[in-house]
Amino acid sequence: MTSHLSCPPVACTDVSTPLGPLLLVATEHGLAGAWFHEGQRDTPAADVVARWPRDPHHPLLQRTAGVLDRYFAGQAGAFDLPLDLSAGTDFQQAVWQALCLIEPGRTVSYGEVARAIGRPSAVRAVGAAVGANPISIIVPCHRVMGANGSLTGYSGGLHRKVALLALESGEPRLL
């Protein structure tokens, strides 16, 4: 389990989604975390989260909750939120920034992401970076597929990946 962020959280809160509750975390630099409470790999340790300041009224966390509400209502668009990706290595940050450029309803392969960041032979490392993404949904790692278009792992669970892709393709009945 991951137990740290690069910057200390200034606020965190839980929000409800059709796919289960999410823990949202903000630092002074932006949204730094969005993890499903259940069934997600690489979440912060519970004892660490217990020490983080809770503030459901924090402006960025409220804005994020509103963006997620609109997203799950089928109004998928670009997520225009300040992000704090500093917990990742330079390579991970490059991958996560590339993921943010994938439009809703579109999918890409790990190889395409590797080429997009100028590291065409780093497909496995891209896969590891995608899997370590700390900001579910907002940094859309669910839009990355296997080279043959097959579903691959999703740290929030494949059932959530399928539901998110269905929502973005206009099939929200899976939520």
b/e string for 119-156 if b means 16 or more Cβ within 10 A? eeebbebbbebbebbbbbbbbbbbbbbeeeeeebebbb
The whole-angstrom separation of Cα 70 and Cα 117 is: 30
Q: Reduced to 3 states, what is the DSSP secondary structure of residue 125?
A: helix
The whole-angstrom separation of Cα 154 and Cα 130 is: 9
Q: What is the pLDDT of residue 1?
A: 37
Q: Indicate if 141 belongs to the active site.
A: yes
For the domain bounded by 90-174, which CATH number is listed?
1.10.10.10
The whole-angstrom separation of Cα 36 and Cα 20 is: 7
Q: pLDDT tens digits, the chain, 175 residues: what are they? A: 344 576 788 999 999 999 999 999 999 999 999 999 988 888 898 899 999 999 999 999 999 999 999 999 988 667 899 999 999 999 999 999 999 999 988 999 999 999 999 999 999 999 999 999 999 999 999 999 988 888 887 888 899 999 999 999 887 565 5
Q: Is the dihedral of CA 65, 103, 155, 95 positive or negative?
A: negative
The whole-angstrom separation of Cα 78 and Cα 121 is: 29
Q: In which region does residue 30 sit, left (phi positive, over 0), alpha (psi from -120 to 50) or beta (all else)?
A: left
Q: In the CATH scheme, what architecture does the domain 11-72 have?
A: 2-Layer Sandwich (3.30)
Q: What is the pLDDT of residue 124?
A: 95
The whole-angstrom separation of Cα 14 and Cα 34 is: 9
Q: Smallest Cα–Cα separation from 56: which of 13, 20, 23, 26? A: 13
3-state helix, strand, coil in the chain (%, to 5): 35, 15, 50
The pair phi, psi for residue 127, each rounded to 5°, is -60, -45
> Catalytic one among 7, 12, 100, 141?
141
CB 141 within 8 A of CB 104: no
Q: What is the pLDDT of residue 20?
A: 96
Q: Model confidence over 110-120: pLDDT tens digits?
A: 999 999 999 99
Task: Specify the pTM.
Answer: 0.91
Domain boundaries, the chain: 11-72, 90-174
β-sheet bridge partners, residue 108: 144
Q: What is the pLDDT of residue 4?
A: 55
